[in-house]
Amino acid sequence: MITTSLPTEQIEVRFADLDLLDERNLLERLLNDQEGAIRAVRASLPQLTAAAKAASERLRHGGRIVYAGAGTSGRLGMIDAAELTPTFSWPPERTVNLVAGGRDSFFAAVENAEDDVTTAEHHYLQANITEHDVILAVAASGTTPYVCRVLQLARQSGALTIGIANNPGTPVLGLSEHAVLLDTGPEVLSGSTRLKAGTAQKIALNLLSTTVMVQLGKVYQNLMVDLVATNEKLVNRANRLVQEAAQIEPQQAVTHLRQANWNVKTAIVTATQGVDAHCARALLDAHHGRLRSVLHQNTPNFPARPLPTGVIVSCQARADNPLHGPQFMRAMALAAAQAGAVGLRANGASDIRAIRDASNLPIIGIQKVFGSPYDVYITPDFGSARLAAQAGADIIAIDATHRPRPVPLPDLIRFIHEELGKFVMADISTSDEGMRAAEYGVDYVATTLSGYTSTSPTLPGPDVQLVQALASHLDIPIVAEGRIQTPHDIRAAREAGANAVVVGTAITNPREITRRLVHAWSE
């Protein structure tokens, strides 16, 4: 008997009577063997889970999904790619197919193309792959030269690599950061990996791409709310989706869909939140397209950006300060509002609640947590964020520095947006931290922690250079905070590009103000 080290290429002697079977028994034999595809995918769920999580994270930052394959595997990747746009409104420019033999190989087999590594290099360079992209490389054998070369180049580019193969210990798996083995074994029809191996690949691709799209906010409940209604069937489906999500009648759904230019998400927001299509789109943009966040926010009608430009007053006092306590913070907030402050910043549920009861100004809420093994203490976890939100904060400020933290930063931001329905302000100390926070989807970046980390400079006044760097690179509001004490400081921050400034000690800490004045007298 001829043997091979690749299980998918082995000849299974128990199927040697295949050509003697009648139609019914032949179909049953083929069907029974397909069950091995399900078992193989189920066994790979831990690896698929890790791959889906990594891919979701990478794609949140604007990357592309790049499918790489040859033969049946290449065609399956092309099918999965083609279905993303109509199903999830995934931008077609964010999908790339690298297929041995090119697009023509979808209709006619170009079997020798899978060995052509020169063409693989050419295709790869044409695609301009970057570190933001996700490579989904699929090869039943796990040895296809075209696919292996793409993976090698992708690793050099810093792209995320996910390799799917049906044979263990093969190069496709070894070259991938996330190796997904679909161990389907020999085929009923020896070597024909379009059968069980192909089925397992199709299932894995379905699971992976659907999971990623759900994580990116393309689904609400189990409704396909990002579909593109391009024909009568899909128009009717869009109508049913709006009816179900908004709990309205068919004709009402049609009215909202027309106002929303047949965008299902926008129509659902207009139907449930009492806003027009323009405001609905702004709300969706503010929540990064996540319908659940919009529908379940605590204050559904707040504007897309609740924080005006101007001066924000930080109403905080340490425990050893005679002014410590909710009643004093409430009074400070009222005084600040009377003087023209556009917002307030407060720490702790009791202070936030007292201020909320007294003022309608936007509140930036934080919950400081001390005594943990981490240096991060400004709203560091889910529990502290929930306390600030429940107390009435409109914006939750969090420590977004590069320091070790109890909860991954993207997870905390997502929790605040989706579960709490609040905006997120990232307190940072360097421009790199601000850029990263913006990539993760925060709504504001504040220079609060400049001078309080080992990677940031200690300055006598506000970090105007940091404000300027952030303003020149980001398209979200920048808030200057930290050591702002004079009108000159405020003007400098504004001219550097700050949309707002937070002033604390210079206004709300009489003890420190008095200490500075006394020191000036003594000099």
* Active site positions, annotated: 83, 114
Q: Please count the other Cβ atoms lying within 10 Å of the Cβ belonging to residue 112.
A: 9
Please list the alpha-helical segments (H only) found in 44-195: 45-59, 71-88, 117-127, 145-157, 171-174
Q: Are 128 and 154 in contact (CB under 8 A)?
A: no
Q: Are 382 and 408 in contact (CB under 8 A)?
A: no
The contacts of residue 22 (CB under 8 Å, 6+ apart) are: none
Q: What is the DSSP letter of 378?
A: B
**Token digits for 256?**
């909202």
Q: Please count the other Cβ atoms lying within 10 Å of the Cβ belonging to residue 319.
A: 6
The contacts of residue 77 (CB under 8 Å, 6+ apart) are: 67, 68, 69, 97, 99, 136, 138, 205
Please list the alpha-helical segments (H only) found in 12-66: 23-43, 45-59
Q: Give the integer Cα–Cα distance in Å for 71 and 69.
A: 7
**370 membership: H or E segment, kind and range:** none
Between helix 264-273 and helix 250-259 the angle, nearest 10°, is 110
**228 membership: H or E segment, kind and range:** none
Label residue 299 exposed, middle or buried (CB < 10 Å: 0-12, 13-18, 19+).
Answer: exposed
Nearest to 390 by CA among 352, 343, 355: 352
- The DSSP string of 118-136 is HHHHHHHHHHT--TT-EEE
Handedness of CA 261, 265, 266, 270 (dihedral sign): positive
